[in-house]
Structure 1
Amino acid sequence: MKLYFSPLACSLSSRIALYEAGAEASYVEVDPNTKRTEAGADYRAIHPLGLVPALEIEGGELVTENAAILQLIAERYPEAELAPRDPLGRARLQQWLSFIGAELHKAVYMPLFEKAAPAEVKAHALSMADARLGWVAARLAGREFLLDRFSVADAYLFTVLNWSQVTPIDLRAWPALPEYHARLLKRPSVARAFAEERARYARELERHAKAAPARAEPAVADR
């Protein structure tokens, strides 16, 4: 398998899942500005939209969309128990993946990263944070994970909450969220993936600064 990723983008959750599963995979970094790989190849020749993550599997098949990739990893490595096996449990997992992807990733965080977004759009996105993050915090109260055990939904939520560091969102308003984030960061798969991608993200910033010194810091979610 081959995972196409950009540092600290939502593809981080796919890396976490692969590490958690002990899967053998290679990792290809995609520059979010140029849409080129480290080797200089045009990533849009692989995925025309230029979005990450994308997971190449046997036979050259390409799977895109973060939630789909996370569920595929869970299916391929059932021994890692990254997804419930009973119907209701799977529905709960899909419920969380849908919520994180639509209501947090796209509705709240993406507009805050979008450089061209009007101020009123950013303000509207920020106004939705309280209800949505409050809802998540309430469901994490007294719980270690979103479901009964660590799942791919936790990998995704950790990744999205991490973006709060470069937005006006202060997770301390919902104590259960920074506690959850810190708790997951102690998990070996999460700590490894985060440390590796944080180092790559720092190099990405240096590379972009040299290419265009006046350019604003790239958004980790805008991939």
Structure 2
Amino acid sequence: MKLYFSPGACSLSPHIVLLETGLPFSTERVDLGKKRTAGGADFRSINPNGYVPALELENGTVLTEGPAIVQYLADLAPQTGLLPAVGQVERYQALGWLNYISTELHKNYSPLFKPDASDDMRANARKMLALRFSHVASHLEGRDFLAGSQFGVADAYLFTVLGWADVVKFSLADWPQLQVFRERIGARPAVQAALRAEGLLK
């Protein structure tokens, strides 16, 4: 398998999950501005949407969208417990968190990354993120992980999205649970390895 990534982007989540599974894979960096891979290919020929992540399978099939990719990877390595088995209610709780992070956190960052976004758009994005962060922090009170008693795919995604707060200068000081969560997840060997591979950790 090959993971197409951009450092610190949402592709960090499946990168972490791949390392957690121990499955063999390679990576190729993508210049999202130029839509070119490190090998010189037009990335839109791999993912027509032009954004990461994209996971190319051995048979040439390409999977896109981070939440779908991490589910696929977790199901390839069920022994890891990264996602509970089909039919277990804990699985659907984890999937619920994947969807929440995607729609309520990930998308609300968008105006903060766009240089042409208006001040009103940015202010509204920060307001919405604060509300969502409060919800997640409340859920994490007394918990180490989002769903279940062990690290899972939703935790990798939340860790990735929380990291963007530093980039857009959005302080997490009001949510100590989120800060503790970042520290806990960030200390995992697979997370450290992914950050190091993407040049985000010395």
TM-score normalised according to structure 2 size: 0.95
| Secondary structure of 1:63's aligned partner | strand
Tell me whether 1:165 sits opposite 2:166 in the alignment.
yes
Whole-angstrom CA distance in 2 between matches of 1:159 and 1:130: 17
Which one has the bigger helix percentage?
A: 1
**Share of identical aligned residues, percent?**
46
TM-score normalised according to structure 1 size: 0.86
CA deviation vs aligned residue, 1:129-184 (integer Å, no higher than 9, x gap): 22110000011111111112100000000000001111131111100001100111
Of structures 1 and 2, the one scoring higher in RCO (CA 8 A, sep 6+) is 1
Where in structure 2 are the equivalents of 1:61-72 lying within 5 Å? 61-72=61-72
Letter in 1 for 2:178: L
Letter in 1 for 2:46: I
Letter in 1 for 2:75: E
The answer for the alignment partner of 2:75 in structure 1 is: 75
Whole-angstrom CA distance in 1 between matches of 2:169 and 2:41: 35
TM-fit CA distance, 1:196: 2.1
Q: Is the contact between residue 8 and residue 200 of structure 2 (CA under 8 Å) also seen in structure 1?
A: no
The answer for the alignment partner of 2:103 in structure 1 is: 102
Where in structure 2 are the equivalents of 1:165-184 lying within 5 Å? 165-184=166-185
Letter in 2 for 1:181: R
Tell me whether 1:123 sits opposite 2:123 in the alignment.
yes
| Secondary structure of 1:84's aligned partner | coil
The answer for the alignment partner of 2:194 in structure 1 is: 193
> How many residues align structurally?
200
The answer for the alignment partner of 1:52 in structure 2 is: 52
TM-fit CA distance, 1:199: 4.3
Letter in 2 for 1:96: W
Letter in 1 for 2:35: K
Whole-angstrom CA distance in 1 between matches of 2:67 and 2:105: 13
The answer for the alignment partner of 2:27 in structure 1 is: 27
Tell me which stretches of 4 or more aligned residues in structure 1 moved more than 4 Å. Answer: none
Whole-angstrom CA distance in 2 between matches of 1:164 and 1:198: 18
Unmatched segments (≥5 aa) in structure 2:
none
| Secondary structure of 1:9's aligned partner | coil
The answer for the alignment partner of 1:41 in structure 2 is: 41
The answer for the alignment partner of 1:92 in structure 2 is: 93
